[in-house]
Amino acid sequence: QSHNVYLFVMNPNDTLSAFSLLLCVLILSAGRGELLFNADDNVVQLDFASFESGLSEPTSGKLVQFFNGFCEESQNFIPAFKNLSRKLYKWHRLLKVHVLDCGKDENDMICSIYSIRKTPTLRYFPPSYKLAPDNLGTEITHRNPKEIQSKLALNLQKLDYFKMFKRQDNVAHIFQTHKDIEYVAFVFQMCLDHFLPHLETGNSMEEKYASQGDCNEDNPIVSLIGRNTLLELLPYRKVVVRIFDNHDVYNKFGISPVPNLVVLVNKAGKLLFLTPEMDSSKAYVAAIKQFLIFVDLKPQKPLPKTPPANISEALRYEIFEQHKHHPSRIYRADLERAIDQILNVKFPGTTHFAGAKIVVLRNFVKLIYNSSPLKPEAREKLANLYYSLHVKKQLSGVGFKNLLLKSVKDYVFDGKQYVGCIASRPSLRGFNCSLWVLFHYLSVESKKLKPKSVLLVFLGYVRFFMNCKECDMKISEFKKLRPIANVTNDDEQILWLWEAHNYVNKQLAGDSTEDPKFPKIQFPSERDCPKCRNNATEWRTEEVLHYLKGIYTLKNLSWFGMSSGKHAIE
C-alpha cells in the first residue's frame, strides 16, 4: 500500500498494554537522563500535592522556578538554572531549590494563584511560608547566576541563622541547639566608623561599598563580609558561624578588641584565635578552612556529575507519562499543530484554488474562526483572513500565503510538538492523527453552523488536499454505507465522523501504516468508556455520543504541550 494511506490514518486512543510497554522501554533505556531536573542537581520538583507543604517547611528558604518545558525561554534557561542550583548546593542547610511545571494541567491552579504570567519565573519564599494575597513570594527578575545568588543572599540574611550574637548570649546554648556542631566561629563585623582601626576593607567592590555607610535599614548591621563568611562555610555541617557587632563580646572571651580576628570555640569551651590576612570574607573563610583541614573536618560531599539535560528526550518522556495517566485526554497542542500545518504548509503548497476547492478553503477558515481552539487574539486574525478569502473566486497557493501573512501576521502557534498524536518512531501518526482529532473537535464544537458543515469541509479536504487517492477511496466506501444525505443534525454529524474513523481503522489495522505502540482499535475502548458497548460488538450510540461530546469539547482540552499555559492566557 502507498505511503499516502499511512499518512491519513490515526487513532487517538490505544491500549494500556501498549503504553505500559513503551514506558518500560523508555525507563530501562533512558534512566535519569530523561528528566529536565533531578535531585542530583540539587533540584526537587514540586507539584500540586506537595507545593504547599514544600513552601511551609520551617528550617530553610526556598528558591522556586515556575517553568514550562515546552516554552522556549524556559528551555533556554535550563542550563543556567542547573549550573545555579549546583552552586547553591553549598547553601543547602539554609536554602532548598525547587521547580514547578506550569505546563501540566494539574499544576495550573497553583500557577494561577501565584500570578505566573510567563515562564520561567523565579520566586524566593521564606521558611514557614503561608500564602497571602499580598505575599506571593519575592520575584527575582535576574537571569545571571551571580546576580541571582546576590539577591538570594539578601533574603537569606534575614533568617534567624544570621542573628547577631549578643553579650548576654550563651555559647553553650549553640552547642545544645545544634547537637552535631563541634566548633562555633565568631566573626566581628560592624560599620566602619563604629570600630577603628580598620586595616583593609573587603576584597570585593560589594564588600568595600557596604562597609562605608552608616548602619541603617538599607545597610544592615550584618555586614556583607560577615554574611558571606557564614554562607561560604555552610558546607561544613559541624561548624556554625556567628557574627557579633559589639566589641564588649571580646571581654566575654577575655581578650582585647582587635581587627581581623576570628574566635573559634569548641564544645569544651576552649578558644582558638585566627588572624585572617585581610578584612574580607575570602580571607576569613580561608583562615577557618585551613584550621578545619588541620583538624580533619570535611565539608559535605559534592554533588555527582550529571550530563546536560536532553530536552527533547525529556519532553518525550513527559508526554508518554501523560499518556500513561491520561490515555483518552485531548490536547490543544495537537489541534494547533494540525491548524498550523494546514494553513502554513498544505494550503500554500496548493498550485491553484478555484471552484469547489476555494469553497473548501474558505469554509475551513470559517470553521476555525467559529470554533477556534487557538488563543483569543487568533479569532480576529482568522476573521480578517476569512473576509479576505470571501471575495476571491480563484487564488494561487502563493496568493493565499500572502493573504495569510497579511491577516494573521505575527501570530505564534504555541503547540510545538504532538502530544496525543506522538509516535513511537518518526513518520508515524503526527499530522494525520491531529487532523482526525481536529475534525472530531470541530464536529462537537460547531453547534452554531448548519448540520453537515464540518463533514463537507472534512470530505473536501480529503479530496483536494490529502494528495491520497486511496484515502479518498476509503472514505467514499464509507459514504456508500452511510450516505451523508442522511445526516440531518449535529449529533448525527458527530457520530458519522466517529463511524468513519472506526471504519478506516478497521480497514488498516495491523498494516505497515500502524504504529505498534498505538494500535488502530475500535474506539472508544472498553476501558475508556465501559458504558459504550452492550457487548463486545454492539455499540450504544447514545453513550458514545455522550463520551465524544465530553472529551472533544473546548473546556476539556488539555493545555499540556503548549508553550503558554492556561494561567498565562487568563
Q: Give the pLDDT of residue 223.
A: 67
Residue at 563 is within a domain: no
Give the closest residue to 86 by CA, choosing from 311, 305, 234, 238: 305
**How many angstroms separate the CA atoms of 486 and 492, rounded?**
8
Residue at 518 is within a domain: yes
DSSP state, residue 427: T
Of 262, 295, 328, the residue at which a domain comes to its end is 295
> Is residue 330 located within the same domain as residue 283?
no
DSSP string for residues in 303-348: PPP-PPP-HHHHHHHHHHHHHHH-TT--BHHHHHHHHHHIIIIITT
Q: Give the pLDDT of residue 509.
A: 84
Q: Give the pLDDT of residue 195.
A: 40
**How many angstroms separate the CA atoms of 11 and 14, rounded?**
7
- Residues with Cβ < 8 Å from 127, sequence gap 6 or more? 57, 58, 59, 60, 61, 159
Residue at 140 is within a domain: yes
- Over its C-alpha atoms, the chain yields an Rg (Å, rounded) of 32
- Residues with Cβ < 8 Å from 91, sequence gap 6 or more? 152, 156, 231, 234
CA torsion 150-151-153-157 (nearest 10°) is 140
Q: Are 366 and 456 in contact (CB under 8 A)?
A: no
CATH number at residue 451: 1.20.120.310
DSSP state, residue 485: G
Q: Which three cell numbers stand for residue 54?
A: 514544600
> Is residue 104 located within the same domain as residue 168?
no
Q: What is the pLDDT of residues 480-523, one digit of tens each?
A: 999 999 999 999 999 999 999 999 988 888 888 888 899 988 99
> Is residue 172 located within the same domain as residue 141?
no
Q: What is the pLDDT of residues 525-537, one digit of tens each?
A: 988 999 999 976 7
Beta bridge partners of 97: 63
Residue at 21 is within a domain: no
Residue at 32 is within a domain: no
Residue at 433 is within a domain: yes
CATH number at residue 85: 3.40.30.10
Give the 3-state secondary structure of residue 375: coil
Q: Which three cell numbers stand for residue 269?
A: 569551651
Q: Are 20 and 53 in contact (CB under 8 A)?
A: no
- CA 481, 485, 488, 494 dihedral sign is positive
Q: Is the peptide bond before 145 cis (omega within 30 degrees of 0)?
A: no
- CA 163, 166, 171, 172 dihedral sign is negative
Beta bridge partners of 271: 265
Residue at 251 is within a domain: yes
Q: Are 226 and 243 in contact (CB under 8 A)?
A: yes
pLDDT per residue rounded down to tens, the chain (570 residues): 333 333 333 444 444 444 444 444 443 344 444 789 999 999 999 999 999 999 999 999 999 999 999 999 999 999 999 999 999 999 999 999 999 999 999 999 999 999 999 999 999 999 999 999 999 999 999 999 999 999 999 999 889 888 888 888 888 888 988 888 999 999 887 654 444 333 334 445 555 545 444 444 444 444 678 889 999 999 999 999 998 877 788 887 777 777 678 899 999 989 999 989 888 889 999 999 999 999 999 999 999 999 998 999 999 999 999 988 888 899 999 999 999 999 999 999 999 999 999 999 999 999 998 888 988 888 888 999 999 998 999 999 999 999 999 988 788 889 989 999 999 888 888 888 999 999 999 999 988 888 899 999 999 999 999 877 777 888 899 999 999 999 999 999 999 999 999 999 888 888 888 888 999 889 999 889 999 999 767 999 999 999 999 999 999 999 999 998 776 555
> Is residue 235 located within the same domain as residue 182?
yes
Expressed as residue numbers, the domain containing 61 is 44-149
Identity of the residue numbered 337: R
Residue at 233 is within a domain: yes
> Is residue 228 located within the same domain as residue 319?
no
User: From edge to edge, which strands make up the β-sheet containing 271-274?
Assistant: 239-244, 183-188, 262-266, 271-274
